[in-house]
Amino acid sequence: MPIQIEAAQAYDKFLPVALTIAAADILPYRIDAALAITNVREAMPVLLAKEHLLAEHLPKVNAALLLALPDIALATEYAALKAEHALPTEKLMRQKLAEGWQLRALLLGSAKVLASAGFVTAQEVDAIAEGRGQRDMARDCVMLADLFRKYESTIAGKHPVDKTQIDDAAAVGSWLSANLRTTNALPASSTSSSPEAEARDRMGTLLVQQYNVLETVLHYFYGKNWDALIPSLQSRAIKRETPAEVK
């Protein structure tokens, strides 16, 4: 059995493989990675007892990838941890939302006054004011910052908004646009589109796919009772039968 490499190394090694999986085949991440690691380790001796027969009987199976299942499981756990740490916390999200709403109100209120005085076009301001939801607010912050910058020379000294607040509106609007989900402001690991979350989903899919290959291989070699020999990827530990050649 190959010597298990460190989690970060495993991640770096197998992420390129996971990135080749078609987008349509990516599974939502619902894996208990620690449990998967345990179950993979329990299943491997049963597979290794037939390792010498793989090339002859199942030449189309990628034996090297299959035998690397323990490292793929380790890489999946590492990917999940990276994704968890990359996502904004609920507290941070609420802070950014509050900041965004406050800045939108300040800039939009001033923009309406400027529009009524003819310093900026009312059409631009009205288009921004139409938004109601959180994602609209994020976009509005960016658009309002752009508006104040666009008319900077014309409106200088005619409103109470300072440059720092304009920059803050652009920054918080951009942050919220990148981190808000379509239907829910709070972060959720199963639906986030961050690069870390995508990597986690792909690693989890690779793990599931290879464990499915493992089950197919064991079915071939051990027959109809193969499933009594190993746990499923996410099953809780129970005592299994041990094939004679593994003992």
Q: What is the rounded average pLDDT of the residues 206-225?
A: 95
In whole angstroms, give the CA distance from residue 75 to residue 78: 5
Residue 87 has pLDDT above 80, yes or no: no
What pLDDT is recorded for position 160? 95
Same domain, 198 and 83: yes
Mean pLDDT (the chain, rounded): 87
> Are 138 and 115 part of one and the same domain?
yes
Interval 215-223 mean pLDDT: 95
2 part of a folded domain: no
Mark whether 206 and 152 lie in a shared domain. Answer: no
Q: Enumerate residues 6+ apart whose C-beta is below 8 A from 102.
A: none
Residue labelled with tokens 């509005």: 140
Looking at residue 188, what is its pLDDT?
Answer: 43
| Cβ(204)–Cβ(29) below 8 Å | yes
For residue range 8-21, list pLDDT tens digits in order: 889 999 999 999 99
pLDDT score, position 191:
44
Per-residue confidence at 86, pLDDT binned at 50, 70, 90?
Answer: low
Q: Are residues 61 and 21 in the same domain?
A: yes
Name the domain count of the chain: 2
Q: Are residues 95 and 80 in the same domain?
A: no
The answer on 96 and 169 residing in a single domain is: yes
Domain finish residue from 139, 154, 179: 179
Q: What is the pLDDT of residue 46?
A: 95
- Residue 128 placed within a domain: yes
Query: Do 57 and 129 fall within a single domain?
Result: no
Residue at 243 is within a domain: no
My answer on whether 149 and 33 are in the same domain is no
The domain in which residue 105 lies consists of 90-179
Looking at per-residue pLDDT, the higher value among 81 and 40 belongs to 40
Same domain? For 94 and 175 the reply is: yes
Bigger pLDDT: 194 or 41?
41
Establish if 100 belongs to a structural domain.
yes
Distance CA 98, CA 29 (A): 30
For 191, phi then psi, to 5°, come to -125, -5
> Do both 167 and 215 map to the same domain?
no
Residue 26 lies in a domain: yes
In a domain, 237, yes or no: no
Query: Do residue 153 and residue 198 come from a single domain?
Result: no
The pLDDT-based confidence of 3 (bands split at 50, 70, 90) is very low
pLDDT in tens, 148-196: 999 999 999 999 999 999 999 998 988 888 777 643 444 444 444 678 8
The amino acid present at 27, given as its one-letter code, is L
Q: Cα–Cα distance between 165 and 152 in angstroms, integer?
A: 14
In a domain, 54, yes or no: yes
Whether 244 is covered by a domain: the verdict is: no
Token pair for residue 97?
């939302």
User: pLDDT band at 245, cuts 50/70/90?
Assistant: low
Place of tokens 């409106």: 155
Please tell me which residue, 154 or 82, carries the higher pLDDT value.
154
